[in-house]
Amino acid sequence: MKFSADIQIMPLPDLRDAQGEAVLTSLPRTGVAGAVKVRIGKNIVFTLEADSEEKAREMVQLACEKLLTNTNTESFTFSIEPTTEESPEE
């Protein structure tokens, strides 16, 4: 079975987000006023094959913990959905 994994990675809430701070400072210069907080993260989407949704979840969890995130500075959440697509949407 094929599954689509959608992973959101964010800096831990207690850590400084230098990219977010830079964007927050720059927004008023672009005409966007009123923003009070910006956090910058990553979104990763990929398709995988697994025998079951449970196995797909285990595989994505392992990929996040071992490769895709630095668990000392980032947190992650993800969703899994069955798919017939060959590759993730662009």
CA pair distance 70, 67, nearest whole angstrom? 8
85 — pLDDT class (breaks 50, 70, 90) = confident
User: 47 with 2: CB under 8 angstroms?
Assistant: yes
* C-alpha–C-alpha distance, residues 86 and 71, integer Å: 30
What does the pLDDT look like over 59-77, one tens digit per residue? 999 999 999 999 999 999 9
**pTM of the entire predicted model:** 0.84
Identify the pLDDT of residue 86: 65
CA distance 70 to 9: 10
- The string of pLDDT tens digits covering residues 21-60 is 999 999 999 999 999 999 999 999 999 999 999 999 999 9
